[in-house]
């Protein structure tokens, strides 16, 4: 179990119209100007946008894998420890984060593979 950082970044690269912004401590990801994720290389963690109910469920089920990051605009962001999650689950969470930010027409053009 565990997802290397490079594999996570490839997951994000496979999504449509992703914009990446690098800063000194993290990289942020957005689609058409709406943020859906962050990557912190120092801690090998990612922050992903989720629904509020999904945020609560993920953290309650496995607090060793997920942490509450923050809530904003009706969404709950979670911190994911890459070393403690499998690739299939992470791919679903990354897609869901992207889907929550992408326009509906773009989502329809790019369903979950």
For the chain, give the longest Cα–Cα distance. Answer: 36
Three-state DSSP state, 24: coil
Three-state DSSP state, 111: coil
pTM: 0.95
Per-residue model confidence (pLDDT) at position 33: 96
Are the C-beta atoms of 51 and 75 separated by less than 8 Å? yes
Q: How far apart are CA 50 and CA 77, in angstroms?
A: 6
State which fold the 5-109 domain adopts.
3.90.1150
pLDDT tens, N- to C-terminus, the chain (113 residues) = 799 999 999 999 999 999 999 999 999 999 999 999 999 999 999 999 999 999 999 999 999 999 999 999 899 999 999 999 999 999 999 999 999 999 999 999 999 87
Per-residue model confidence (pLDDT) at position 112: 83
Domains in the chain: boundaries: 5-109
């Amino acid at each position: 179990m565990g997802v290397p950082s490079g594999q996570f970044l490839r997951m994000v690269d496979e999504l449509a119209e992703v914009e990446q912004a690098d800063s000194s401590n993290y990289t942020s990801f957005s689609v058409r100007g709406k943020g859906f994720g962050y990557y912190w290389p120092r801690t090998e963690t990612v922050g992903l946008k989720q629904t509020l109910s999904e945020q609560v469920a993920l953290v309650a089920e496995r607090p060793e894998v997920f942490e509450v990051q923050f809530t904003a605009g009706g969404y709950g962001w979670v911190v994911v420890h890459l070393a403690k999650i499998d690739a299939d689950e992470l791919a679903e969470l990354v897609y869901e984060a992207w889907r929550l930010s992408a326009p509906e027409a773009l989502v329809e053009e790019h369903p979950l593979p």
